[in-house]
Structure 1
């Protein structure tokens, strides 16, 4: 079964392996298969589920809501997000204005079929809306009982500090940040993680397997596997492309003997590496087939010895991205059209 961790400086626990439905539900995977995969996650002890209104332009929330229908609400931790253009994509159908946040939470609750979400997240930082307006809107949503906790995604250390201070002044908790993080993408380690530790904010990390590259199934000099994310023209191929270079793939192959020695698959080793960071509360994983989760959840509770961790870092050091400046490029300077 899956272990739990506290989210930020709160009493709220989430499953350290959290199921996310970006690029799968209502996109890569037919609805029946998506629902079966969510049910498999529940069977394996995953109770935390992450989605966003923008995934498949709101359709992913609908599929997740259908998959969770009938489950005791108090036994689930449901996360969603707001920011990116959705729906008709008009001038107020995006960003973190008070209007869009309130329209967003009401739409998400309706699509998910619930009265509240456990965690409501700002999907990016909105440079065009005063931060005070954004945090006040989130505070009002919490007070109305439509969300229990507030988080963000891909905010810089400075943005986290400013948002945390405003939230504290308004009597609510900013408990989480959702950045990309893996043994190949380590840009949050220099500034975001130390600031988060100081403020009592956890990371819920996306792409902990670098879009599947850290499973070891992509081989240098070889065609990508049929049916893999790298062949998905709906979005998966674009997101994985930066990792599909021969130097990266060759470095990842060096993890195989390390994983074998530890009695793990390369995917389990890579997830355990992410969860080795104490500031990480959860690693988001997706699946296109239920049986994929059988392997994934075995990373929960794995403790890596210091020499194993060092061996992973040494193998990937030449290709791992660590420059903290990348954290300043994730949020658009203007709202996307």
Structure 2
């Protein structure tokens, strides 16, 4: 496994990270989740990403249990706070109250006394940014959080956050955007800002919910047991399931063959070649999936192969920077036509 420096910080992360958004506590039982975590460790993955929101906290619990026998200093635990976790008025957002209470709850569920990276899951414009950053600063001073990051923030929001972080002397080091061959909205504004600010990026959904693996074929039902047939995951994959899009994705197969890799490995290798990207966060419902996908960190794509990918996907690539923080706002061409009434 390759390890990369996360931004300008001293923290090194595995180039492929394991994320448990739609799997732990939802699609997988605890034993299957533990098997996937074991496969991740065997593949050299040391960076694990989750959030308090995932499966109403169960994702953190399952991950913590699966990692309980692992030497804590050998892994990087990353979680997030902001999205609603309960019905209460203070059960969401980036207020001091929710951040501090959310951190304590996440530490308990993960079974650890510190987080390597604590990320603001979204920007909260209802709370003064000073309040948010002061709460993160206190957690850093207390040793409960080592580094701070954000997810799906715009370039101006990141710049404002970094200014305050510098004043407070806290290590704001990372951004976590959706980023894949198909979804490139960060390239116009966010990635250049990250380069200027010294932020490393951890790309989520580099496989576009599994669509870039080539598992889904135009005009055919999703394979039995695939994420598309799962009630929770299927609702997300449905956004990427037009015959036009799936046909274009199928045309990536010869490019993967030319690179000597699978389509999943191609997608991972592609995002790892992008400027400021330190890691690609991948999920898996079976250990063998993770074992194979992790090998994408060893694939090297030359400029010719990168250009061929661009030529195939062409007008189906989403680049609109206005869709930053709107990760589910996919273009109409990606969606299947509505069922006949």
Q: Please, what TM-score do these two structures have when normalized by structure 2?
A: 0.94
How far apart are 1:237 and its partner, in Å? 1.4
1:16 match: 15
CA RMSD of aligned residues (A): 1.1
1:334 match: none
Give 1:277-296 correspondences, 5 Å limit. Answer: 277-296=274-293
How far apart are 1:330 and its partner, in Å? 5.5
How far apart are 1:127 and its partner, in Å? 1.2
Where 2:209 maps in the other structure, the secondary structure is helix
How far apart are 1:301 and its partner, in Å? 2.7
1:209 match: 207
1:76 match: 75
Q: Distance in 2 between matches of 1:100 and 1:129?
A: 11
Q: Distance in 2 between matches of 1:262 and 1:7?
A: 27
Alpha-carbon contact 1:180-1:205 (below 8 Å) kept: yes
1:335 match: none
1:132 match: 130
Deviations 1:85-106 (A, max 9, x none): 11x4200111000000000000
Deviations 1:17-42 (A, max 9, x none): 00000000010001100011101111
1:29 match: 28
What are the ranges of 5 or more consecutive residues in structure 1 without an aligned counterpart? 332-337
Q: Distance in 2 between matches of 1:89 and 1:62?
A: 20
Q: Distance in 1 between matches of 2:325 and 2:293?
A: 31
Alpha-carbon contact 1:247-1:319 (below 8 Å) kept: no
Do the aligned partners of residues 39 and 328 (structure 1) sit closer, same or farther apart at CA in structure 2, a change above 3 Å counting? closer
Alpha-carbon contact 1:122-1:152 (below 8 Å) kept: yes
Deviations 1:111-136 (A, max 9, x none): 11101010000000011110010011
Where 1:175 maps in the other structure, the secondary structure is strand
How far apart are 1:204 and its partner, in Å? 0.6
Alpha-carbon contact 1:151-1:177 (below 8 Å) kept: yes
Q: Distance in 1 between matches of 2:10 and 2:282?
A: 23
Q: Distance in 1 between matches of 2:154 and 2:228?
A: 29
Alpha-carbon contact 1:6-1:14 (below 8 Å) kept: yes
Do the aligned partners of residues 91 and 330 (structure 1) sit closer, same or farther apart at CA in structure 2, a change above 3 Å counting? farther
How far apart are 1:217 and its partner, in Å? 1.0
Alpha-carbon contact 2:140-2:147 (below 8 Å) kept: yes
What are the ranges of 5 or more consecutive residues in structure 2 without an aligned counterpart? 329-341
Query: Is structure 2 residue 217 aligned with structure 1 residue 222?
Result: no
1:240 match: 237
Give 1:33-52 correspondences, 5 Å limit. Answer: 33-52=32-51
2:336 match: none
Where 2:186 maps in the other structure, the secondary structure is coil
How far apart are 1:328 and its partner, in Å? 5.1
1:255 match: 252
Deviations 1:234-257 (A, max 9, x none): x21121222101111111011011
1:61 match: 60
Q: Distance in 1 between matches of 2:211 and 2:46?
A: 26
Query: Is structure 2 residue 319 aligned with structure 1 residue 319?
Result: no
Q: Distance in 2 between matches of 1:203 and 1:31?
A: 29
Where 1:105 maps in the other structure, the secondary structure is helix
